[in-house]
Amino acid sequence: MAGGGWALFLFLAVSVCCAAAQEPNTDAFFLSKFFSKLGRPAPPPSSNTSEGPCSWSGVFCDGEGRVVSFSAAGMGLAGPIPEDTVGKLAHLERLDLSGNRLTALPDDLWELGAALTELNLSGNAIAGALTNNVGNFARLRSLDVSGNAFAGVLPPALGSLAGLRVLNASHNKFQGQIPGAVVSGCESLVAMDLSYNALDGDLPDLSLLRSLSYLNVSGNRLGGSVAGAFQEQLMVIDLSNNGFSGLNFSTGYAGSSLTYLDLSGNEFQGEFTVVAGRFRNLKHVNLANNRRLSNGSLLVSMGGISGLEYVNLSSTGLRGQIPAEFSSRLVGLKVLDLSRNNISGVIPDLSSLQLQVLDLSVNNLTGEIPVTLVKKLPSMERFNFSYNNLTVCASELSPEAFAAAFARSRNDCPIAVNPDKIKKHRGKRKEMKLALAIVLSLFFAALGLLCLAVACRRRRKRCDTQPVVKQVSFKEESASVSGPFAFQTDSTTWVADVKVATSVPVVIFEKPLLSFTFADLLAATSNFDRGTLLAEGRFGPVYRGFLPGGFQVAVKVLVHGSVMEDQDAARELERLGRIKHPNLVPLAGYCLAGDQRIAIYEYMENGNLHNLLHDLPLGVQTTEDWSTDTWEDNNGGVATENITPEGTATWIFRHKIALGAARALAFLHHGCIPQIVHRDVKPSSIYFDSTMEPRLSDFGLSMVAGTNTDNDLLHHSPGYAPPEFSNSENVMATAKSDVYSFGVVLFELVTGKKPLGDEYPDRKEESLVNWARAMVKANLGSSIIDPKIRDTGLERQMEEALQVAYLCTAELPSKRPAMQQIVGLLKDIEPKVAEQD
Ligand SMILES: *[C@@H]1O[C@H](CO)[C@@H](O)[C@H](O)[C@H]1NC(C)=O
Ligand SMILES: *[C@@H]1O[C@H](CO)[C@@H](O)[C@H](O)[C@H]1NC(C)=O
Ligand SMILES: *[C@@H]1O[C@H](CO)[C@@H](O)[C@H](O)[C@H]1NC(C)=O
Ligand SMILES: *[C@@H]1O[C@H](CO)[C@@H](O)[C@H](O)[C@H]1NC(C)=O
Ligand SMILES: *[C@@H]1O[C@H](CO)[C@@H](O)[C@H](O)[C@H]1NC(C)=O
Ligand SMILES: *[C@@H]1O[C@H](CO)[C@@H](O)[C@H](O)[C@H]1NC(C)=O
Ligand SMILES: *[C@@H]1O[C@H](CO)[C@@H](O)[C@H](O)[C@H]1NC(C)=O
Ligand SMILES: *[C@@H]1O[C@H](CO)[C@@H](O)[C@H](O)[C@H]1NC(C)=O
Ligand SMILES: *[C@@H]1O[C@H](CO)[C@@H](O)[C@H](O)[C@H]1NC(C)=O
Ligand SMILES: *[C@@H]1O[C@H](CO)[C@@H](O)[C@H](O)[C@H]1NC(C)=O
Ligand SMILES: *[C@@H]1O[C@H](CO)[C@@H](O)[C@H](O)[C@H]1NC(C)=O
């Protein structure tokens, strides 16, 4: 202590002595006195060009040694600014005393006079009023008194500072209104920051401040309308945390310069409107905490401002859904806060955005969080989905992160995405390397003539004796293989490269405890041997197999990739697995193996309607093509219990098939949420179970197997596609396109004709639909009834069925009846059958 006191004394003595050494009433004298009075040493020289204060850092002199700029920022100066010091620097242009602990201004500060252009007193503890004397500084361009304890009103004399460009009075205790004189007089003002004071009253009209681009009056007690602030020249408007209530824009205001808008924490009512073109350059918008702001189209209209980076609509009383346009239009969005609203519906796929912060907490959102979005979460700064009604598969998030950001959400992963279960059950995890090529040669080589432009579909068959096939060895391919397993497909082969077949789970919904693996599937199908091939369908080959426990299944390999994430595909397959109806072939399970999705169905032992109608055996077949087929090699170990047409070639049975298929479709269209459009209704999708009950298969698969490149899968099979599909490329399949396909099947059931390329007597029609419709229209329906069934029932009923088919195949989708109505119509035709339920 004593030593310290001594040093201070010595230092003071030296300073006083030095100050005293200055000639009185010179700038050097005043500056020396400034430091000595504040108990500080003068700053070290910054250069040796001159002697005395002009060499001090922070001090600049003019040619005559007069101080024109003085900065003592952040030097820890404390107490009142002494009189007869800086106030006496007659030629001072810039004074910066910011970031000290100064408490009061000297009376002679106002004598500085006309030369002063910049005054920075920011970040001190100066109390008291800012007087009208500030008007003395006629040439002032920048006044920063922010971060002090100034009280009282803002001096109206500020309005006389016509050259003032920056006014910063933020973080003080200024009260009263914003003086009208300021907004009329300070015509050069570029930035005005009055934030965090206690200003009240209305916001004046700022239209006279033609250069103003930055306005911040955040954190005051201002109220009324904000119309005055919305002037075309403004780029930044921060009116947050006040009591504004009137959200009015003057007519013609387009806000085309506005990039930053903060209206949060006010009492705005009504709707914030983004009319066409308005705010088109907005990047940052915060309307948070205006509970009564919007009940309408705010979110939708936001989607129209493509440059947005920050959107904060927390606590704005929002309703409705998050528009899907967000993800396509707001590609630059980094922060999205929609928390504490009443937003419902599902979360759209926002993964294409550059989101760093996403807060959707405390809303009314439902459904699953898109997997693509969940995958991006670990790279985000902050996210919150709490207090909604959401489901997420959070397998990659820590339990802590889940608890914090997903409160009240359900953590629910599709079974196949969680291989832990399998690992527990399967002790031996021997590496089983296995390259398996299942090769299907081009069958139509022998039938080359059939390859006509449209009708030509590739048909794959395997050739046992002559490997026409390129043998794809594991080593060759391993470079391009990622992960433990992958499939390769090209036009003629698909290759399973599975290193650890026992680690790939096969989910069987009804038998969850059996934990089958891909190895079981391999065993069940003799490594997908051609002997077990049932069909080569549109989605890929179908094999027959016996899973351990004698569970007979049809294994459908969905060869085509899909844009769907594995997890979404698994979820979708699990959803399909829950869909049960007596006229649907139940999906029994699934397996995700590399890029391949494998759907496992209960085996339908009595074949399908295509076989039945056209007297085909049950062996290998193509479901893609309807032109002449040869079936010479259909007995390679495949079950061929032939369903002889006797007993099945009756009107009553055809009707039962029609009604069963109609019921299945009505259930998919009207009984499932979301609705399932089949997209591929045709006889080879209608199977018969052991009791000959018709069952529709393959529903919902186009989502899991479809791609956007392969439009084939999104469209119906040839002959079954409604006319709207031939007109345009981008038609979406709807329930009404299923109705059309069903109509074709119904014609087929009654006439026994194939939809394309068959013989249609009396007409030169190239398709069943055109022919049958023309005949029905001409009242010649009875002449086209399949001779095989004609005598097995009432002709009138068959004609009525043709009329239903006629309705279903109407040119205009809107003219076609709904599937439910068709069920009713078909029931009416044959009451005996209908009574059975
Ligand atoms: C400052 O003085 C040093 C010696 O003390 C000299 O080397 C240097 O050149 C001087 N700088 C200027 C700008 O005069
Ligand atoms: C005043 O000084 C502070 C601290 O040095 C600085 O951040 C601020 O930009 C200055 N104000 C003006 C208007 O230059
Ligand atoms: C005004 O001063 C505050 C506190 O010093 C600062 O944060 C703010 O950026 C300044 N405003 C402007 C427009 O420079
Ligand atoms: C307005 O002022 C407040 C308080 O100083 C600050 O937090 C806010 O960032 C400012 N707004 C803008 C747009 O600079
Ligand atoms: C808002 O504008 C309308 C006319 O557009 C005007 O009648 C009304 O007074 C304005 N409200 C406020 C609070 O300024
Ligand atoms: C919004 O609320 C106002 C009353 O506050 C009501 O008149 C208006 O119909 C509502 N608009 C919508 C879209 O709900
Ligand atoms: C949204 O604005 C409110 C109020 O200004 C604020 O508390 C919240 O942190 C903001 N959210 C984000 C993500 O910036
Ligand atoms: C959401 O809307 C419902 C129904 O209109 C209402 O009862 C509920 O209070 C609203 N919740 C919030 C947080 O605004
Ligand atoms: C949530 O949304 C559902 C409909 O989507 C509605 O019935 C329910 O009232 C909403 N709940 C709240 C709290 O708003
Ligand atoms: C949550 O959503 C499910 C459907 O997704 C619904 O059945 C359930 O009632 C919802 N729960 C609440 C509390 O809204
Ligand atoms: C998410 O929001 C809830 C509700 O506001 C809050 O309790 C929770 O702390 C937030 N979690 C995170 C991680 O921000």
Q: What's the confidence (pLDDT) of residue 4?
A: 53
> Average pLDDT over the chain, rounded to whole?
80
User: pLDDT digits over 622-677, tens only?
Assistant: 343 333 333 333 333 233 333 444 567 889 999 999 999 999 999 999 888 788 99
176 belongs to a structural domain: no
Number of domains present in the structure of the chain:
1
92 confidence band (pLDDT: 50, 70, 90): very high
More confident residue, 322 or 252: 322
Q: Tell me, in angstroms, the distance from the centre of ligand 1 to residue 49's CA.
A: 8
Mean pLDDT of 667-691: 89
Q: Tell me, in angstroms, the distance from the centre of ligand 5 to residue 695's CA.
A: 66
Q: Which residue, judged by its Cα, is nearest atom 4 of ligand 9?
A: 344
827 belongs to a structural domain: yes
551 confidence band (pLDDT: 50, 70, 90): confident
689 belongs to a structural domain: yes
Q: What is the 3-state secondary structure (H, E, C) of 112-143?
A: HHHHCCEEECCCCCCEEECCHHHHHCCCCCEE
Which of 245-254, 468-477, 505-514, 554-563 is least confident? Answer: 468-477
Atom in ligand 11 nearest the alpha carbon of residue 387: 4
Q: Tell me, in angstroms, the distance from the centre of ligand 10 to residue 398's CA.
A: 25
- Percent of the chain surpassing pLDDT 70: 79
Write the CATH number for 833.
Answer: 1.10.510.10
Pocket test for ligand 9, best of 343, 344, 389, 408 (most atoms within 8 A of CB): 344
Q: Is residue 784 scored above 60 in pLDDT?
A: yes
Q: Tell me, in angstroms, the distance from the centre of ligand 3 to residue 58's CA.
A: 21
Q: Which residue, judged by its Cα, is nearest atom 2 of ligand 1?
A: 48
More confident residue, 766 or 720: 720
CB atoms within 10 A of CB 410: 12
Q: What's the confidence (pLDDT) of residue 190?
A: 97
Q: What's the confidence (pLDDT) of residue 86?
A: 94
User: pLDDT digits over 144-202, tens only?
Assistant: 999 999 999 999 999 999 999 999 999 999 999 999 999 999 999 999 999 999 999 99
Q: Is residue 467 scored above 80 in pLDDT?
A: no
427 confidence band (pLDDT: 50, 70, 90): very low
Q: Which residue, judged by its Cα, is nearest atom 12 of ligand 10?
A: 389
Q: Which residues line ligand 7 (CB under 6 A)?
A: 264-265, 286, 288-289, 312, 314, 335, 337, 357, 359
Catalytic annotation, pick one of 680, 698, 738, 758: 680
Which of 63-77, 272-286, 476-490 is least confident? Answer: 476-490
662 belongs to a structural domain: yes
Q: What's the confidence (pLDDT) of residue 490?
A: 35
Mean pLDDT of 209-222: 97
372 confidence band (pLDDT: 50, 70, 90): confident
Task: Note whether 261 and 268 are within 8 A (CB).
Answer: no
Which of 115-124, 311-320, 510-519 is least confident? Answer: 510-519
**Cα–Cα distance, 563 to 572 (Å, whole number):** 13
Crossing angle between the packed helical segments 795-808 and 651-670, to the nearest 10 degrees: 30
Q: Is residue 275 scored above 50 in pLDDT?
A: yes
282 confidence band (pLDDT: 50, 70, 90): very high
Could you tell me if the CB of 389 is within 6 A of ligand 10? yes
Q: What's the confidence (pLDDT) of residue 375?
A: 85
466 confidence band (pLDDT: 50, 70, 90): very low
Question: What would the two tokens of residue 299 be?
Answer: 């979110």
Could you tell me if the CB of 90 is within 6 A of ligand 2? no
292 confidence band (pLDDT: 50, 70, 90): confident
Q: What's the confidence (pLDDT) of residue 22?
A: 65
684 belongs to a structural domain: yes
Question: What would the two tokens of residue 114 be?
Answer: 């006309």
CA dihedral 232→235→240→242, nearest 10 degrees, is: -40
Q: What's the confidence (pLDDT) of residue 13?
A: 47
714 confidence band (pLDDT: 50, 70, 90): low
Q: Is residue 477 scored above 90 in pLDDT?
A: no
Q: What's the confidence (pLDDT) of residue 593?
A: 80
pTM exceeds 0.75, yes or no: no
342 belongs to a structural domain: no
More confident residue, 298 or 330: 330
Atom in ligand 9 nearest the alpha carbon of residue 345: 5
Q: Is residue 485 scored above 70 in pLDDT?
A: no
Q: What's the confidence (pLDDT) of residue 268?
A: 92
Q: What's the confidence (pLDDT) of residue 442?
A: 31
711 confidence band (pLDDT: 50, 70, 90): low
- Indicate if 566 belongs to the active site: no
DSSP codes joined into one string, 507-562:
EETT-GGG-EEHHHHHHHTTTT-GGGEEEE-SSSEEEEEEETTTEEEEEEEE-S--
Helix residue spans in 681-761 (DSSP H): 701-705, 711-714, 724-727, 735-751
Q: What's the confidence (pLDDT) of residue 347?
A: 94
Could you tell me if the CB of 806 is within 6 A of ligand 11? no
Q: What's the confidence (pLDDT) of residue 68?
A: 95
Task: Note whether 209 and 189 are within 8 A (CB).
Answer: yes
Which of 473-477, 614-618, 641-645, 673-677 is least confident? Answer: 473-477
**Cα–Cα distance, 37 to 380 (Å, whole number):** 53
Q: Which domain holds residue 781?
A: 607-621+640-837
Ligand nearest the Cα of residue 412 is 10
Ligand nearest the Cα of residue 361 is 11
More confident residue, 61 or 513: 61
Q: Tell me, in angstroms, the distance from the centre of ligand 9 to residue 156's CA.
A: 53
On the 0-12 / 13-18 / 19+ scale of CB atoms within 10 A, 645 is middle
Q: Which residues line ligand 6 (CB under 6 A)?
A: 295-296
703 belongs to a structural domain: yes
75 belongs to a structural domain: no
Question: What would the two tokens of residue 809 be?
Answer: 């195949």
Q: What's the confidence (pLDDT) of residue 693?
A: 93
Atom in ligand 5 nearest the alpha carbon of residue 225: 13
More confident residue, 171 or 470: 171
Q: What's the confidence (pLDDT) of residue 562?
A: 66
More confident residue, 208 or 1: 208
